[in-house]
Structures are given as structure tokens and as C-alpha cells.
Amino acid sequence: MFMIDKNKLEFSLWKFFTKVVHIIGRERIPVLSKILAIIFFYLIPIRKKIVISNLTKAFPEKSKSEIKKIAFNNFMSIGITFMEIMAFREMTGEEILSLSGINNLDVAKKIVNSDKGSILLTAHVGNWELGALTMGLSLDKQINVLVKKQRNHLVANWMNEVREKFTNKEVPLGASVRELYKTLIDGGIVGIVGDQRGKKEDGVTVNFFNRPTVTFQGFAALGIKNKVPIVVVLNKRLPSGKYLFDIEEIKYDNLPEKLSDQLVELNQRYMTILENKIREAPEQWLWMHNIWKY
């Protein structure tokens, strides 16, 4: 019996769209993303219910038509993000840097050029893969990016080549905590995407859009244990198709006395910064996962 290798099929589709993106050029990606959004929002809906449910919970003041419009634009935005990632493979460092403007870059430079290690914290907003590439090039430093293991190893290997094309290095999410500690002790940079839903049994509960959600202890535990600065780097796609980065340090000032409360407070400060960024352009966050599952 003939069996279809799901990984190979997915990777073939990935390579096909990569070739299409290279043929049409980055400037025409929004046109293709709109076509794909129509297909996957209206004809073959994928995670549409989750996106609309999340948006309805986050913005109860908005009408059904407003929510539906944001949801459709969210499908477009995610399409743009992934097709841009496909384009990054053939782009030079100069071309990558030309896509963005950065506010407060001096804040990050001052921190990463000190003797201490540092944590760069981001989220699935705008184009998060561009964020890692841009910051590594702008700071001229290696960012050790924590990466969750993907089911499809073929796509994962392809992504690894993109992420490590310039200055950065992938670190599997299951890596030894000692390795992360050593990176920070040696003055290195650890990059973390911190906006995924955590596990109920060992996560911390924070407020997000006026609703409780569970996040990982992750960056907060690393930061407190190693006493290193935590810098939030988020970007937003502009109408021009370029990106604007905002950089903000999470301070350790006025933390509670108990460690468990400190972990909650640092996560809350991060989620508040993220929420404010999402409100600027709600269609640009990855609403496709069930952030309020518990």
C-alpha cells in the first residue's frame, strides 16, 4: 500500500511557496497573502473559530463585524509573516536591516555590551523571526534563541538555516538549564519568545486582556536566578510593509519578597507590555492558539 509521508508533503508545499515568493518578490506578498486568507478563512477554515473566540474575549466592546474583520486581517498578517520568512533565506544582512526602524536601540546596546549576560524577550507579534535576525545584526552579537522542537524535521532544518544565517544560534527548548545559565554567566544573550500558554501544573497565572491565563516561569526564573537584565523587543508592521521595533527593559524594582510572587510579577509586567503592543495592531498577534484554555 502506498503511504504518503506527511513531513515530505508539507516540506514540498513549503518549498513550492518559497519559490513562488522568490518569483513574485517581497513587494507582492500582501496580494498573495490576501488570496490565501480568503481560502483559509472562508473556504477551508483553519483555526478560524479559535481566532474569533480569542478576539471576542479580548475585545468585548467590539461588534461581530469588527471582530470578523480583525480575524480576516489576522489570517492575512500571518500569511505575510511566513512568506517573508521564506524570502529571508535569500536576503543579505543589509537587506534584512533595511526592513526596519528601531526605537531605543541604545538601551539594548548598553545592556548587551556590559559584562553581564542578558535576556531578549519577544512575542509572536509582527514578524518575530525578523526580530531575532534584526537584533542580532543590529547588536552585532550572537543571540542564543530558544526554539521549540517541531514535528516536521524537514521544515525545522530549513528554519534553522534561516535563523543561523547571520549571527544567531538555535538552542532547543529542552536544552539543559545549565547551558542557559552558562550562556548568561559568560555574558551571552538568550532570546526567548515568551507569549505561549504555559502548563497549568507549573506555570504562573497572570492577567491578559482582563482575563487570567497561564504562562511559563521561563524568562523570569532565568532572570532572577542569574540577576541579568531582561529586555522586551517587539515589532509592528507598518502600512509601508516595513517594521518598527520598540525596546523596553523590564525592571526588577519593587518586586514582592517571595520568589513565587516575583515570578508572577515579572511575567505580568511582560504581558502588560505585550498587551499594549497588541492593542496598537490587534491583527498582528498570533491569535491561533488557545491562550485562555484554562
Contact partners, residue 107, CB within 8 Å, separation at least 6: 231, 247, 248, 249
> Looking at residue 200, what is its pLDDT?
84
| Three-class HEC string of the chain | CCCCCHHHHHHHHHHHHHHHHHHHCHHHHHHHHHHHHHHHHHHCCCCHHHHHHHHHHHCCCCCHHHHHHHHHHHHHHHHHHHHHHHHHCCCCHHHHHCCEEECCHHHHHHHHCCCCCEEEEECCECCHHHHHHHHHHHHCCCEEEEECCCCCHHHHHHHHHHHCCCCCEEEECCCCHHHHHHHHHCCCEEEEECCCECCCCCCEEEEECCEEEEECCHHHHHHHHHCCCEEEEEEEECCCCCEEEEEEEECCCCCCCCHHHHHHHHHHHHHHHHHHHHHHCHHHECCCCCCCCC
Q: Of all residues in the chain, what percent carry a pLDDT higher than 70?
A: 98
pLDDT digits (tens, 9 = 90+) for 137-157: 999 999 999 998 888 999 999
**Would you state the torsion angle of the CA atoms of residues 286, 132, 177, 224, taken in this order, to the nearest 10 degrees?**
-80
Average pLDDT over residues 122-142: 97
Residue 70: CB atoms within 10 A of its CB come to 20
> Looking at residue 3, what is its pLDDT?
57
Question: Quick one: 195 exposed, middle or buried, by C-beta within 10 A (0-12, 13-18, 19+)?
Answer: buried
- Per the model's pLDDT, the better-predicted residue between 199 and 111 turns out to be 111
Q: Which three cell numbers stand for residue 111?
A: 545592556
Average pLDDT over residues 102-122: 94
Average pLDDT over residues 124-131: 97
> Looking at residue 78, what is its pLDDT?
97
> Looking at residue 179, what is its pLDDT?
84
Q: Given a cut of 70, is residue 2 above it in pLDDT?
A: no
Average pLDDT over residues 37-43: 96
How far apart are alpha carbons 266 and 206 in whole angstroms? 10
Mean pLDDT over the full length of the chain: 94
- Single pTM value for the model: 0.94
CA angle (275 as vertex; 37, 49 as ends), nearest 5:
35
Average pLDDT over residues 186-198: 93
Average pLDDT over residues 179-193: 93
pLDDT digits (tens, 9 = 90+) for 230-281: 999 999 999 999 999 999 999 999 999 999 999 999 999 999 999 999 999 9
Comparing C-alpha atoms, which of 123, 155, 146 is closest to residue 235? Answer: 123
Q: Which three cell numbers stand for residue 228?
A: 541579568
